[in-house]
């Protein structure tokens, strides 16, 4: 075994798999362009308070999953970002972006870090693609981000997804609901598990998120948040639902959906995949109108967004065979040097072809001609171009089509012309 292993919960992605990432990233970028979202990149670390304030100090993420450290003995604590929303909002407030235009549509494909117990679909370093729409969070804006997300899934060919959606109302609605939940759960306090007992104190909404089967029945009988929403919030939510129906996006209303981050209000949603085991959440998001103020902005800034776990997305795609037809193109031409004395000339030819824009591979280890041919086939080259003494002297090279075995003798200019022509 190698002396060093990757850190627990982190993994290497080798070229075979990178091909899949490129494919998925390409689809994300092209759909983002259709919807007018532009890419944002923010630093991998931020001051720890940003996440404490933004995500909420009673959440699991801030409570126990952040990689935080002091850059120097007198410095402020910094944290490897566990999610993107807080950092994107920080960046936009810092640049005062909203003074330049009233609405900003941003997307990202970024690496994140959470100190969770690693298992299938759960890593300590993972990647998300997501979008944040700042400046408006109308039902149309919620529908816009949801439709963008669903179009990415559809373009990738992924099926078997379930979209669950709920309305969390505004701050006052949730405060009243929190009290109602506290009153409901208090008589059962002795039956609650440790983490739910703690949640009862700090944030009873999070009890609804509990995966403990022993609490299932108790949770099912809890009051519904929907009953505590103001009429405007209900109307707003119904409009979101009607937009989804108009776009033929299937959804289930889930009154127990609360999400694991504190910044949400009104519409919040999650997408699960039947292909994933215990970690079946492929993405989630919602509105977060008060995050800007929480981070020191002068006013509430309406906003809505989502994020999708890239690894989980790829696991689900793999299970559905969606990478089977992905054909990583090998080099077009393998330059085969017949005698080692001609290897410099071979390199020169390879260089010329590459300058002309052709994908070319050549042996760098002075291997036999047989070994070169084996390698050309192994990596899926379409052609072999032979460099021998006669070719060197005459300037005419044998080009072999490795699929049909047809062979022709051509000048380098003719080779370039033929191979540059598509098809």
**What are the residues binding ligand HAM (CB under 6 A)?**
83-85, 114, 116, 122-123, 126, 128, 130, 132, 260-261, 281-285, 288, 305-307, 309, 311-312
- Minimum Å distance from CB 237 to ligand HAM? 17
Question: Least distance to ligand HAM from the beta carbon of 123, Å?
Answer: 4
Closest distance between ligand HAM and the C-beta of residue 61, in Å? 7
Q: How far is CA 419 from CA 267, 376, 399, 403, in A?
A: 54, 17, 10, 14
Give whichever of 84 and 358 is closer to ligand HAM, judged by the CB atom: 84
- Cβ-based nearer residue to ligand HAM, 86 or 419: 86
Closer residue to ligand HAM (CB): 262 or 391: 262
| Cβ proximity to ligand HAM, 185 vs 306, nearer residue | 306
Compute the distance between CA of residue 13 and CA of residue 63 in angstroms, rounded to an integer: 30
- Using CB positions, name the residue nearest to ligand HAM: 309
Decide if 166 contacts 254 (C-beta within 8 A).
yes
From CA 162, how far away is CA 200, in angstroms rounded? 29
**Closest to ligand HAM by CB, 53 or 312:** 312
Positive or negative, the Cα torsion across 194, 195, 201, 204?
negative
Work out how close the CB of 113 gets to ligand HAM at its nearest, in angstroms, rounded to a whole number: 9
User: Using CB atoms within 10 A of its CB, is residue 142 exposed (0-12), middle (13-18) or buried (19+)?
Assistant: buried
Enter the tokens of residue 377.
Answer: 């086939």
Q: Residue 325 forms beta bridges with which residues?
A: none
Q: How far is the CB of 241 from ligand HAM (least distance, A)?
A: 19
Instruction: Tell me the C-alpha distance between 265 and 258, whole Å.
Output: 10
**Which among 420, 384, 421, 422 is positioned nearest to 405, based on CA atoms?**
384
Spell out where 243-330 has E strands. Answer: 252-253, 265-273, 281-287, 303-309
In the DSSP assignment, the letter for residue 342 is G
Cβ contact 158:259 at 8 Å = no
Looking at the Cβ atoms of 204 and 284, the one nearer to ligand HAM is 284
Measured from the CB atom, is 266 or 400 closer to ligand HAM?
Answer: 266
Cβ proximity to ligand HAM: between 305 and 331 the closer is 305
Minimum distance of ligand HAM from residue 89's CB (angstroms): 9
Asked if 196 and 182 count as a contact pair (C-beta separation under 8 A), the reply is no
* CB of 172 vs ligand HAM, minimal distance in Å: 21
Q: Closest separation between CB of residue 286 and ligand HAM, Å? A: 6
Residues forming a β-bridge with 79: 46, 68
* Distance, CA of 3 to CA of 144 (rounded, Å): 49
């Amino acid at each position: 075994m190698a002396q060093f292993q990757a850190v627990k919960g982190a993994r290497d992605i080798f070229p075979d798999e990178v091909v899949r990432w490129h494919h998925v990233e390409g689809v994300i970028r092209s759909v983002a362009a259709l919807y007018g979202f532009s890419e944002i990149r923010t630093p991998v670390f931020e001051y720890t308070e940003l996440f404490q304030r933004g995500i909420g100090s009673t959440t699991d993420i801030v409570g126990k999953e952040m990689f935080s450290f002091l850059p120097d003995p007198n410095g402020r604590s910094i944290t490897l970002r566990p999610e993107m929303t807080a950092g994107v909002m920080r960046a936009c407030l810092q640049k005062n972006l909203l003074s330049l235009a009233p609405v900003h549509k941003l997307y990202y494909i970024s690496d994140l870090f959470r100190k969770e117990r690693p298992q299938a679909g759960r890593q300590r370093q993972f990647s998300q693609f997501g979008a944040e729409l700042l400046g408006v969070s109308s039902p149309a804006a919620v529908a816009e981000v949801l439709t963008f997300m669903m179009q990415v899934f559809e373009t990738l060919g992924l099926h078997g997804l379930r979209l669950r959606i709920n309305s969390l109302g505004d701050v006052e609605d949730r405060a009243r609901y929190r009290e109602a939940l506290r009153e409901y759960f208090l008589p059962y306090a002795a039956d609650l598990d440790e983490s739910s007992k703690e949640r009862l104190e700090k944030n009873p909404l999070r009890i609804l998120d509990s995966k403990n089967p022993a609490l299932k029945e108790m949770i099912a009988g809890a009051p519904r948040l929907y009953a505590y929403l103001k009429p405007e919030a209900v109307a707003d939510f119904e409009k979101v639902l009607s937009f989804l129906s108009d776009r033929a996006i299937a959804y289930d209303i889930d009154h127990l959906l609360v999400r694991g981050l504190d910044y949400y209000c009104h519409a919040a949603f999650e997408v699960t995949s039947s292909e994933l085991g215990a970690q079946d959440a492929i993405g989630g998001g919602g509105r977060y109108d008060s995050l800007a103020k929480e981070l020191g902005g002068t006013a509430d800034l309406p906003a809505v967004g989502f994020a999708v776990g890239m690894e989980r997305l790829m696991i689900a795609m793999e299970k559905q065979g969606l990478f089977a037809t992905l054909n990583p193109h090998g080099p077009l031409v393998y330059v085969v040097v017949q005698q080692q004395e001609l290897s410099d000339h071979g390199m020169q030819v390879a260089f010329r072809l590459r300058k002309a824009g052709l994908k070319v591979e050549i042996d760098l280890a002075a291997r036999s001609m047989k070994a070169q041919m084996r390698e050309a086939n192994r990596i899926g080259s379409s052609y072999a171009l032979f460099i021998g003494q006669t070719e060197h002297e005459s300037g005419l090279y044998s080009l072999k089509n490795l699929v049909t075995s047809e062979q022709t003798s051509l000048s380098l200019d003719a080779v370039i012309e033929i191979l540059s022509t598509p098809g």
